[in-house]
A and B are shown apart, each in its own frame.
Chain A
């Protein structure tokens, strides 16, 4: 091919306006799915663009599955899982993954706990071996528990007790925003509960939730599917099915009266207001409209809230509006706005301007140009979500566990296409009301 041809063809394309002005070819996320006899659901997504593979396991257990007096278990297990199992001594999991040059991590949410490794694809079998081992035979004894309880307590001291706003965001705000005990208690749980629980309570928690029929395994990356399937069957096939998991999400009572709280935070460098609203679960059509509206209002410097609050009125240093803040729930959720005040600004004044902007949307709606820009932003977010094997694996797991199947990921941005400006005005009036709001004014001060 002559060297100048790609440049010419690009120029021609731009001149003709064809691919530049219409949506490009549909990105497809190829998947194959199967379920083992023990109930483990497996999603394979080939991607040979680089010789790497992500192994991603979601266990459908999080802090919402805990019971009173036994909180903090879900997060503790996120740590315990990197300890020893029958054939993999303590410290070996991280050692093995480090030596591949790859990376690993895990995270805990109210509705699930995730574990993932991204490694050069020639280590795929090794990762399946490690994951299957800890699912089959995690060591849960006094020594391992004491060690990880210490680590978790230190994490809580660092992340919850010693970060600006964190105590309010992680403890006080969920307690006020969610009505169900399951969603309103802290993800870290009570350190007292962790200290008091007998070893058997942890063994039982693991036996109930860390079972193949409560998990989804996703492989995304460079592998040959038939061989990957054979390896999954080899390592996970012998595992025994556990108790049948519950599919129910916590029920949330509808809020009918505004909640307002003031908090002094000795670590806070500046005042911050949180204003949150009860919203439906992810992928509910109204939730989609609310997420699109949040994008209209805050995404980009020209969006309404940054323009008014930050640029024009200089009331705020920043404004963030996010559904699923700070950690997503897959049952009923919250749409939260964080209003970070400029120096010398009273939170009441900042909130008044915020409500004024919401009022304009409720009364006058939004423009076609704003809607188009927000949809373009969400489309780009969708494409960015397919950029790496880790992003893809994470999304495929989410779709398989919560959104009706991994196959629904391909092209799912289209669900925003049919949402109209009228929908946004309607959901603004239905959900973004004073009566459904929870407000926290956090001001610097108070005893540390």
Chain B
């Protein structure tokens, strides 16, 4: 066999070998990634199972028979309010409730935080002009 032919044959033989090489040495399996994917799938399954269980429970609860003997709701009888006004303008509301010998006295003044003057900003939002007599910050620092 002459040398160039031998080389060609060798090259031919080598090519399939080279072509097959990637198959034989497939990139190393990333076990951590596989485990993570498996765990994620398991979590997903568990979440689905939990959701299914919750949905089944909601469906069960929605299908429950009504409680026995439910009657129409009774009206709330709010005590009569006796309303008057003093000559000085004070409004007085009296509700009588003798269930226990306790009396609540509430004084409601129609003034709240919305009537408070707006707070003075702690510092001006606009920088002082450069001619301000205020010392520059750096100069105020101790040596």
Query: Bound pair: A and B?
Result: yes
Interface size class of A (residues with CB under 8 A): 35 or more
Asked if B84 lies at the interface with its beta carbon under 8 angstroms from chain A, I say yes
**Contact assessment for B68 and A51 in the assembled complex, using a CB-CB cutoff below 8 Å:** no
A181 within 8 A of partner (CB): no
Interface size range of chain B in the complex: 20 to 34
B92 to A: closest C-beta gap in Å? 6
Q: Scan A7-30; emit 1 where CB is below 8 A from any B CB, else 0.
A: 100100000000000011101000
State whether B67 touches A27 (Cβ < 8 A): no
Give the CA-CA distance A401 to B70 in the complex, in Å: 30
- Determine if A3 and B83 form an interchain contact, defined as CB atoms under 8 angstroms apart: yes
Judged by a CB distance under 8 angstroms, whether B34 is at the interface is no
A27 and B101 contact, CB distance less than 8 A: yes
Q: Does B122 contact A (CB under 8 A)?
A: no
Beta-carbon nearest neighbor of A8 in chain B: B84
Q: Which of A87-95, A151-159, A187-195 contacts B (4 or more CB under 8 A)?
A: A87-95
Query: B48 at the A/B interface (Cβ < 8 Å)?
Result: no
Task: For the complex, give the distance between the alpha carbons of A121 and B69 in Å.
Answer: 11
A129 touches B (CB below 8 Å):
yes
- Distance of A231 Cα from B67 Cα, bound (Å): 14
Known interface pairs A129-B67, A383-B102, A387-B100. Does A51 touch B84 (Cβ–Cβ under 8 Å)?
no
Query: With A6-B94, A95-B61, A383-B102 given, is the CB distance from A50 to B70 under 8 Å?
Result: no
Whether B118 sits at the interface, judged by CB under 8 Å, is: no
Contact segment of B36-44, B74-82, B108-116, B130-138? B74-82
Given A7-B84, A50-B76: A123 and B57 within 8 A (CB)? no
A256 at interface (Cβ–Cβ under 8 A)? no
CB-CB under 8 A from A130, the residues of chain B are: 67
Which chain B residue lies CB-closest to A384? B102
B60 engages A89 (CB within 8 Å): yes
B residues 4-54 in Cβ contact with A at 8 Å: none
Residues of B within 8 A of A89 (CB): 60, 64
Contact with A along B77-99 (1 / 0, CB 8 A): 00000111010000010101111
- Some 13 contacts from A to B, beta carbons below 8 A apart, are A6-B82, A6-B84, A7-B84, A24-B101, A49-B97, A51-B75, A120-B73, A122-B74, A123-B67, A123-B70, A126-B69, A130-B67, A386-B100
Interface residues, chain A, with chain B CB atoms under 8 Å away:
1, 3-4, 6-7, 10, 23-25, 27, 47, 49-51, 89, 91-92, 95-96, 100, 120-126, 129-130, 222, 231, 380, 383-384, 386-387
